Structure 1
Amino acid sequence: MILLDEPTERVCAAIKSGQLAPVRLAIMAPGGYGKTAVLDHLAGAPGVRLVDDAHLLTDAELSEVARQLDDESAGLVIAARPHPRPSALNQVLGRLTGQLVLRPFDRLRTETFLARAGRPLAVDTVLAQTGGVPGFVRLLAGGDGELVAAFRHELDQAGEDSLCYLLAVEAGADPDLLAALKLPASTVEAVRATGYLGPDGRLLPVAARALRELVPADRRIALRLRLIRRQLDRSGPVLSLVRPLIGTGVTGADVATAFEVAAGEAAGDPALAARLYEAAVRAGRPTAAVGTRWAEAVARTGDFDTALQLADQVIAADDAVDRAEGAQVAGAALAHRGQLARSAELFQWSDTAVARCFAVIGLTGSGRLAEAEKLLGKSAVDGPPTLLAGAVSSAARGVLESVTDQPTVALSTLIRSAEMLEPVSDRVLLPDSPAALGALVALHSGEAAIAEPLLERAVSSGVLVPRHRLLLAWIAMLRGDEEGATAQLRSAGEQLSPRDWLFAVGLRVGLARRSSDLAGLRRIWIQAREAVVRHPVDLFTFLPFGEFEVAAARLGERDRLAPHLRQARELLAGLGNPPLWASALHWSGLHAAVIAEQPEEAAAHAAALSEAASAGPYFATIARAAQCWLEVLGGEVDAVAVETAARDLHGVGLCWDGARLAGQAAIRTSDRKAMVTLLDCARVLQGRPGREAVEHTGGVRLSERERQVAELVVAGLTYKQIGDRLFISAKTVEHHMARMRQRLGAGSRGELLAELREIVQVAS
């Protein structure tokens, strides 16, 4: 089947009809462009001799063709590749009067050809694989067996130089490397005449596939090693040449060096870099020579266990030249595993300027303030004042300021550190990012609006993305945006470091608690218990441990958290009980005491929050809210004071906490007017309509009284307690519940509670 373009079809028609007699025409094109097909199409044209593959004819055969041209009435159409071009062929071509140019298939011709061949292949795929070369399109349409067989003869006849050139092109060799091969020009031109290369000089995918399948592996490897040695000699890039050799078992000094060099080139792809370092060791490179860089690459993939094993081998090797760097990698890996104190020790042992700054952060986070302050004084930059050195130094200073200075000062320092680090954040394995540390300071001081853009920029940088997404989820959860928090938690992924997993579990606990999903909370509590056992408490984990404390009170398992909370208090004492960090622990402790109905314990936490009130507006707000909680627990509900405190909490980003305070005050007051006002306040703070609106679920309308009953049931009150609040009998409450269950179509009490929870969303 032949499919010619319009100009070629016109010329062929004129030849066959005799309009171009005598025709003297050359068809010059690489292999696969359809020269033979055109000659077959011209078969039978009057007075025309057809000569195919003229580039393969002997001088004697070409002389015979030339003699035919002496007859001015004789026609000749000769087809040949551009190369080789023997002198006898040039003499023949010089006597011809025209040339027919064959072009690759365009999209329309490819689509037409495939339709006629009855092959439902994707046109774009065929064009991408074949470059539109007609012969290759036909072969691809014919199936795998025909495709490979068609290439076999050409590759069997190819010389060593031609195969070397093809393999170099397949490997993506740059023009300089191709020139450095110093292959004869005739070889290069002959390869180009095969049609295997596209207009850009790259190997067509169908040809590359044939090359891989038909040339024996040992021959391909030998030729690739030849290219690698040449590239190493000229200090050129080797990644594309070396990558196919991973896992082949090839060894030797040259290939081991090439694997190591290629790993450095693959720094932006840590998984590939790790595989290349491993291949370098398997090829004969000593582990101590590449262990630190290998460990860093592995750590960047999230495999901190393997990274620690590799780094430990380097640290233990007396002859390793980069032991300090190995200790720095191990320190970062341990920080991600939640071992902050041990991480700080390794950073101190490493004793580089950057490592000392990381050690300051770790020492502060584990409660060793005096050591951290002393070390920061010794952490002057011992090299050029790069962006990285400045950013890490600022991060260390900002963390110390969060303990010793005003929160706003620390936050400002950490934000500057994060901005300074952005352009170079991919140059070092970070134990934590300034953006994450700044966000923690912001969350602990009611500055979520500052933390959010800081974290979003960090996510866009591509460094520690799960860490930053989890903190964005935490902001959403505190605001009461459960859907947004769940989305960020999901986008953080499942392959998390132990520290990130701790935060993820804390988020799931917090979300279950805030949605009053007691069954869900019990399920996730199994993971929470494991997280608590595996992860020591440090300064930067107060958020998840605070959630665990409140959940433990709800589930009656406070004893399980007691040792860890004691550790947290001891840590804070070692730091001088800084308000920024201590207030978070007292705030969660207050809520745990409220749930456990322990007024004396709640009063102790409220007193501690009052002592910290002078640290800033946020701390004053939660101190006032704590006092309101004490009054609510004691049965004294000042609706105006509660509403003010609840709205203030909402204003500092603790939206759900504000709604909960208002909701709990509502169900504890005996003043019906105050109850309605506070329930409205709770709904407004949660972003839900007030009492003038009517709630709907699936088209079901609840009456005002049913809505009030639903709110109190979801809040956890018994039928008798609800009756006392609404001045109705417990039997009437039961009657309302039965009617709502029937109208909502709930099959069980659990389903009914789930439906009512969606309607009222008043946390218990």
Structure 2
Amino acid sequence: MILLDEPTERVCAAIVSGELAPVRLAMVAPGGYGKTTVLDHLAGADVRLVDDAHLLGDEDLAAILRHLDDEQAGLVIAARPYPRPVKLNEVLGRLRGQIVLRPFDRARTERFRGRESAAVQAQTGGVPGLVRAADDLTLLRHELDRASEDVLRFLLAAEAGAGPDLAGTAIEAAHATGLLAADGTLLPVAARALRELIPHDRQIALRRQLVERQLERGGPVLRLVLPLLGAGLTGDGIAAAFEAAAAEAEPATALELYEAAVRAGRPVSARWAEAAVRHGDFDTALRLADQVIAAESAPDRGEAARIAGIALAHRGQLARSAELFQWSDNGDGNCFAAIGFYGTGQATQARQALEKCSAGGPPTLLAGAVSAAAKGIAESVTDQPAVALATLVRSAEMLEPVSASALLPDSPAALGALVALHSGEAAIAEPLLARAVEAGSLVARHRLLLAWIAMVRGEEETAATRLGEAGDELAPRDWLFAVGLRVGLARRASDLAALRRIWGQAREAVVRHPVDLFTFLPFGEFEVAAARLGERARLAPHLRQARQLLAALGDPPLWATALHWSGLHAAILDEQPGEAAEHAGALRAAAEAGPYFEVMARAAECWLKVLGGDVDPIAVEDAARGLHGAGLCWDGARLAGQAAIRTSDRKAMVTLLDCARVLQGREPSVTPGPTRLSERERQVAELVLAGLTYKQIGDRLFISAKTVEHHMARMRQRIGAGSRSELLAELRVELDQGTT
């Protein structure tokens, strides 16, 4: 069956009818394009037909040239574009034109097969011989059997999508097979034929030769090596190829390639451990790194120690991480060691490591950024918070161009954000973290810190969204922050049921993650939640460790303030006025560290007075707005709301409730009056304020406890109260107004 496009069909018809004479035409096309079929179609015409002219010797080609000496002699000659003997060029040079053979379009493919063939068209590119072979790959066996080793290697390289720079003749010969698309990619049906028709052992041998040649040239080998995974190959050459390919691969694939390299004869390397860290498999990374460190003859023991230090930092084991960085004894390692030692309260070791930070190495962006980060953490302990923050911001900006590829125990952006959060500079932290996320560096950690900023601002929905974006596959350190966020959001929503549900995770996080300087934020949330749930005893050893850590560093205000602030609120919830006063005193002692710390001290004093029943609405509002201005929006609103609950002055109560609503981003109360509550809601509100339980109220009003709960929910929504305590205060005002 012959299916030609219209122009070629007209030419063939003219040849057969004798209309076109004398005929002197060539058909030059790759294999599978139907040259032989066209010659069979022309049989009977007064013209000499020659097939496979590219395979003819000089004598046969000379005879054709003599045939062409007769100007009336006709000739249609078919050949592949390669090989091209000199005498064949002479023959072609004496012809008058070509019969052009084109691949089938989809319509001709479907006519040829007698059915819908979109998939076959995509698999074959419409090459007629491949369309025929789509249902029977053995039709391509002859083509592959007669292909040279160089051609087969080229086809296998094309199958892998590698296309190495082989000899020009191999490329031309491969294209002449018709198995390649115009852009040099192997057509899918041809790829199947390679895999199924070439014996497996021969494939492996050819691929191995291909890989070794590419490795000698220094070209990329990943795509060429991947088909050899699992083949059980050994030897120095293939082991080197697996390692070279691993350096090009994504972490998950790199892990397989490094393992294959070891099986092929390579020793376990620090690079394998690094790939495991990049993949988030810290257990494997630590196991591999430990093997390298233990091997006295291993040349990369220091690098293995650095990788182990990074893995342990992500797992929250900062003290051991710092020891490994110090042992690695390179510039970056000493910088990381200094950060870790400061983070665990080991000031002397930190200063010693800082002296050797980035010593002797090239002045790269990474080295400069890491050195600045270590200096910034040192300044956070010994200098003014603003100085430390400025150093860490510069460190993060220096690292940005190379941050996506850098493997770090922590990022300058995250450390800078922590310092910013501890000093009331969330507005500086947010863009720093956003750029780090965009750069693809420690994305989950940076998203969690962005969520923390939103939470302390009172933007609970944004915080929950950012928490969700961080994902569920988290390193232990990141999981600690994620749990801290869930605890904090439940507490701010006054959702005691949710807080109880999440508390089990919080307890696990505390047990798994030692406290360090950079985890005070989640531990602070846990402390307040523990007080709310009557679980403070469980957290006491960890908080004692945190305060010992601070004492070892000289109680730096930047880090101590957050812990004393959470301690103050835990003491308030636990009804421990003496302990609350101690925390307030510590906050007052840190007030000289800067405006933020002064705001915190003033708010703490205000809390003590409110708890004692001394509610000065002007002082409370001033302190609450100070907290809001420092970025602690929810804390500011809570102070105002709690003061409103505790004052007996109705005017002060209304003023403070309005202040709380404004600080929460809501409108203050409008004209007073009892119109917001229905009669039934008013009855429920009176009984709730009298201290009755929902069940007792239901019994009194002949409704179910669930109905009472629905009434309360509707009242909270209508009034716009941010918490139950604020709702009760609003209801007191509402009922009081209704009786005046």
TM-score, normalised relative to structure 2: 0.87
Aligned match of 1:293 = 271
CA separation of 1:650/1:16 partners in 2, compared to 1, >3 Å: closer, same or farther? Answer: farther
Whole-angstrom CA distance in 1 between matches of 2:664 and 2:112: 65
Q: 1:15 to 1:719 in 2, by over 3 A?
A: farther
Aligned match of 1:406: 384
Aligned to 2:28: 28
In the other structure, the counterpart of 2:145 is 156
Q: Following the alignment from structure 1 to structure 2, what is the Cα–Cα distance between the partners of residues 752 and 172?
A: 67
**Partner of residue 249, structure 1:** 232
Aligned to 1:559: 537
The answer (yes or no) to whether the contact 1:723–1:730 under 8 Å persists in 2 is no
Cα distance between partner residues in 2 of 1:682 and 1:213: 74
**Compared CA separation, residues 474 and 135, structure 1 to 2 (3 A):** farther
Match of 1:263 in 2: 246
Structure 1 residue 279 corresponds to structure 2 residue 260: yes
Amino acid of the residue matched to residue 24 of structure 1? R
Matches within 5 A, 1:540-555: 540-555=518-533
Name the stretch that deviates more: 325-334 or 529-538: 325-334
Q: Is 1:762 matched up with 2:698?
A: no
Distance 1:608 1:464 in 2: 35
Give the residue type in structure 2 aligned to 1:167.
Answer: L
The answer (yes or no) to whether the contact 2:335–2:358 under 8 Å persists in 1 is no
Question: Residue 324 of structure 1 contacts residue 351 of structure 1 at CA under 8 Å; is this kept in 2?
Answer: yes
Show the 5 A alignment for 1:665-684: 665-684=643-662
| CA displacement at 1:17 relative to structure 2 | 6.1
Q: Secondary structure at the match of 1:249?
A: coil
* Farther off after superposition, 240-249 or 748-757: 748-757
The equivalent residue for 1:79 is 78
Deviation of 1:113 (Å): 4.3
Distance 1:511 1:426 in 2: 31
SS at match of 1:311: helix
Query: Contact 2:138/2:197 (CA < 8 Å) preserved in 1?
Result: no
Rounded to whole Å, the distance in 1 between the matches of 2:176 and 2:151 is 11
Is 1:217 aligned with 2:200? yes
Alignment match, 2:317: 339
Structure 1 residues 257-266 or 321-330, which shifts more?
Answer: 257-266
| 1:44-91, Cα deviation, whole Å (9 max, x unpaired) | 886566655454568898788778868877755443322334567556
Residue 102 of structure 1: CA displacement? 2.9
Q: Retained in 2: the 8 A contact 1:415–1:438?
A: yes
Correspondence for 1:189 among 172, 178, 181: 172
Q: How far 1:160 sits from its partner (Å)?
A: 2.6
C-alpha spacing 1:10/1:398, structure 2 compared with 1 (3 Å): same
Distance 2:474 2:121 in 1: 41
Match of 2:214 among 221, 225, 231: 231
Contact kept? 1:719, 1:734, Cα under 8 Å: no
* Gapped regions of structure 2 (runs ≥ 5): 725-740
Question: Residue 246 of structure 2 aligns to which amino acid in structure 1?
Answer: A
Q: CA separation in 2, counterparts of 1:756 and 1:15? A: 95
Matched with 1:613 is: 591
- Aligned partner of 2:155 in structure 1 is 166
Give the secondary structure class of the aligned counterpart of 2:528. helix
In the alignment, which of 501, 519, 526 is matched to residue 504 of structure 2?
526
Deviations 1:84-132 (A, max 9, x none): 3456755654553220233446xxx337745986766667x954x5455
Contact (CA 8 Å) 2:455, 2:463: kept in 1 or not? yes
RMSD (Å) for aligned C-alpha atoms: 3.7
TM-score w.r.t. length of structure 1: 0.85
- Contact 1:553–1:592 (Cα < 8 Å) also in 2: yes
- Report SS of the residue matched to 2:25: strand
Q: What is the identity, as a one-letter code, of the residue corresponding to 1:160?
A: E
State whether residues 17 and 45 of structure 1, in contact with CA within 8 Å, keep that contact through their aligned partners in structure 2: no
Instruction: State the match for 1:102 in structure 2.
Output: 101
Once the two structures are TM-superposed, the CA of residue 285 in structure 1 deviates from its matched residue by 1.2
Distance across 2 between alignment mates of 1:30 and 1:693: 89
Indicate if the aligned counterparts of 2:621 and 2:640 stay in contact, CA closer than 8 A.
yes
Distance 2:662 2:522 in 1: 27
Q: Contact between 2:433 and 2:446, CA under 8 Å: does it hold in 1? A: yes
Q: Which moved more, 1:66-75 or 1:471-480?
A: 66-75
Write out aligned runs for 1:60-79 (5 A): 76-79=75-78
User: Aligned to 1:544, what secondary structure does the other structure show?
Assistant: helix
d(CA) in 1 for partners of 2:322, 2:214:
42
The residue type equivalent to 1:247 in the other structure is G
Do structure 1's residue 580 and structure 2's residue 558 form an aligned pair?
A: yes
Residue type of the partner of 2:106?
Answer: T
What SS class does the counterpart of residue 285 from structure 1 fall into?
coil
Contact 2:289 / 2:304 at 8 angstroms: preserved in 1? Answer: yes
| Range 402-411 or range 511-520, more displaced | 511-520
What amino acid sits opposite 2:155 in the alignment? Answer: L
Q: Residues of 1 paired with 2:398 and 2:278: CA distance?
A: 21
CA distance in 2, matches of 1:646, 1:410: 27
- Aligned residue identity for 2:234: T
- Indicate how the Cα distance of structure 1 residues 449 and 62 shifts in structure 2: closer, same or farther if over 3 A, else same: same
Task: Confirm or deny that 1:497 pairs with 2:475.
Answer: yes
- Give the deviation of 1:328 after TM superposition: 1.4
Residues 350-369 of structure 1: pairs in structure 2 closer than 5 A = 350-369=328-347
Tell me the residue number matched to 1:328: 306
Could you tell me how far 1:572 is from its partner in structure 2? 0.8
For residues 108 and 620 of structure 2, the distance between their equivalents in structure 1, rounded to whole angstroms, comes to 77
1:28 counterpart letter in structure 2: V
- Aligned residue identity for 1:155: L
What is the SS of the residue equivalent to 2:677? Answer: helix
Number of aligned residue pairs: give it.
722
Change (3 A) 1:53 1:757: farther
User: Offset at 1:307?
Assistant: 0.9
Q: 2:394 aligns with which of 394, 398, 416?
A: 416
Contact (CA 8 Å) 1:390, 1:417: kept in 2 or not? yes
The percentage of aligned residue pairs carrying the same residue is 68
Retained in 2: the 8 A contact 1:367–1:575?
yes
- Check whether the contact 2:109–2:121 (CA below 8 A) recurs between aligned residues: no
Contact 2:164–2:214 (Cα < 8 Å) also in 1:
no
C-alpha change, 1:48 and 1:548, in structure 2 (3 Å) is same
Partner secondary structure for residue 403 of structure 2 = helix
Aligned to 2:689: 722
Q: What is the deviation of 1:303?
A: 1.0
1:285–1:565: structure 2 CA closer, same or farther, 3 Å change rule? same
Q: Output the amino acid matched with 1:683.
A: R
| Matching residue's letter, 2:266 | R
- Name the SS for the 1:358 alignment partner: helix
8 Å contact kept, 2:527–2:570? yes
Could you tell me how far 1:566 is from its partner in structure 2? Answer: 0.8
Structure 1 unaligned residues grouped into runs of 5+: 695-701
From the superposition, tell whether residues 46 and 257 of structure 1 become closer, same or farther in structure 2 (CA, over 3 Å).
closer
Tell me, yes or no, if structure 1 residue 382 matches structure 2 residue 360.
Answer: yes
The aligned amino acid for 1:576 is G
1:729-750 deviations in Å (ceiling 9; x for gaps): 999x969x999x99xxx97666
Q: Which moved more, 1:197-206 or 1:648-657?
A: 197-206
Q: For residues 156-175 of structure 1, give each alpha carbon's deviation from its aligned partner in whole angstroms, at most 9, with x where no partner exists.
A: 23233322232244345565
Q: Distance in 2 between matches of 1:319 and 1:406?
A: 46
Cα distance in 2 for partners of 1:3, 1:275 equals 49
Tell me the amino acid that sits aligned with residue 762 of structure 1.
G
Q: Name the aligned partner's letter for residue 704 of structure 1.
A: R
The one-letter code matched in structure 1 to 2:677 is R
**CA distance in 2: counterparts of 1:293 and 1:707, whole angstroms:** 73
Contact 1:327 1:346 survives alignment (8 Å): yes
Q: Is the Cα–Cα contact under 8 Å of residues 234 and 263 in structure 2 kept in the other structure?
A: yes
Q: Give the 3-state SS of the residue equivalent to 1:415 in structure 2.
A: helix
Deviations 1:160-192 (A, max 9, x none): 33222322443455654x13xxx8x3x543322
2-side partners of 1:489 and 1:427: how far apart?
24
CA contact (8 A) 1:516 1:763 kept: yes
Distance 2:478 2:393 in 1: 21
